Amino acid sequence: MARTTVKLPAPLRALAGGSGEVFLVGETVGAVVRELAERYPPLRRHLFAQGGELRNYVTVYVNDRDIRELERAETTLKEGDVVSIVPSIAGGAAPSEDGPEIPPTSVAEVPFSREELIRYSRHLLLPEIGLAGQKKLRASRVLIVGAGGLGSPAALYLAAAGVGVIGLVDFDRVEASNLQRQILYSTADVGRPKLEAAGARVIGLNPGVRLVSHEERLTSGNALEILGAYDLVIDGTDNFPTRYLVNDACVLLGKPNVYGSIYRFEGQASVFDSRVGPCYRCLFPEPPPPDLVPSCAEAGVLGVLPGLVGTIQATEAIKLLLHLGESLVGRLLLYDASEMRFRELPIRKNPECILCSEHATQKGLIDYAEFCGVPGAIVETRAGTVPEISPTALRDELASSDPPLLVDVRDPEEWDISQIGGARRIPRALLPEKVDELTGAREIVLFCRSGKRSALAAQLLIDLGFSHVKSLAGGINAWADEVDPSLVKY
For position 429, which CATH number holds? 3.40.250.10
Question: Mean pLDDT across the chain, nearest whole number?
Answer: 92
In terms of domains, do 310 and 247 share one? yes
Residue 444 lies in a domain: yes
Kindly state the helix (H) or strand (E) to which residue 406 belongs, with its residue range: strand 405-408
Flag whether 223 is in a domain. Answer: yes
Q: How far apart are CA 471 and CA 35, in angstroms?
A: 35
> For 54-81, what is each residue's pLDDT tens digit?
888 889 999 999 999 999 999 999 999 9
Does 290 score more than 80 pLDDT? no
Amino acid at 181: R
Q: Residue type for 234, please?
A: I
Q: What is the mean pLDDT of residues 363-379?
A: 76
Whether residue 355 is found in the same domain as residue 443: no
Residue 429 lies in a domain: yes
Q: Number of structural domains, the chain? A: 3
49, 133: one domain? no
Q: Domain of 48: which CATH number?
A: 3.10.20.30
Query: Quick one: 74 and 217 in the same domain?
Result: no
pLDDT band at 91 (very low <50, low <70, confident <90, very high): low
**3-class DSSP state of 410:** coil
Residue 294 sits in the same domain as residue 197: yes
pLDDT tens profile 424-455: 999 998 999 999 999 999 999 999 999 999 99
pLDDT, tens digit, 9 for 90 and up, residues 120-166? 999 999 999 999 999 999 999 999 999 999 999 999 999 999 999 99
In a domain, 128, yes or no: yes
188 and 284 share one domain: yes
Tell me, yes or no, whether 152 and 273 share the same domain.
yes
- Residue 381 lies inside a defined structural domain of this protein: no
SS3 assignment for 187-207:
HHHCCCEHHHHHHHHHHHHCC
Q: What would the pLDDT profile of 185-219 be if each residue is shown by its tens digit?
A: 999 999 999 999 999 999 999 999 999 999 999 99
Local confidence band at 375 (pLDDT 50, 70, 90 cut-offs) = very low
- Residue 106, in any domain of the structure: no
Same domain? For 313 and 242 the reply is: yes
Same domain, 129 and 257: yes
- Which of 200-204, 270-274, 456-460 is least confident? 456-460
Q: Find the CATH number of the domain harbouring 335.
A: 3.40.50.720
Q: Give pTM, 2 decimals.
A: 0.81
- Residues designated as active site: 296, 448
3-state DSSP assignment of residue 409:
coil
Please report, rounded to a whole number, the percentage of residues in the chain having pLDDT higher than 90: 82
Q: Kindly state whether residue 105 falls inside one of the protein's structural domains.
A: no
Check residue 380 and report its DSSP letter: B
Is residue 376 scored above 70 in pLDDT?
A: no
Secondary structure percentages of the chain, helix, strand, coil, to 5: 35, 20, 45
Domain that holds residue 269: 114-371
Residue 267 has pLDDT above 70, yes or no: yes
Residue 380 has pLDDT above 90, yes or no: no
Q: What is the pLDDT of residue 233?
A: 98
Are 137 and 278 in a shared domain?
A: yes
Range from 107-116, 211-220, 251-260 carrying the lowest mean pLDDT: 107-116
Residues 355 and 220 in one domain: yes
- What distance, in Å, lies between the first and last C-alpha atoms of the chain? 49
**Could you tell me which residues are beta bridge partners of residue 84?**
7, 61
Q: pLDDT, tens digit, for every residue of 389-424?
A: 999 999 999 999 999 999 999 999 999 999 999 999
Instruction: Please give the angle made by the CA atoms of 142, 146 and 149, to the nearest 5 degrees.
Output: 110
Q: Are residues 256 and 312 in the same domain?
A: yes
Chain segment 216-243, per-residue pLDDT in tens = 999 999 999 999 999 999 999 989 999 9
| 107 domain-assigned | no
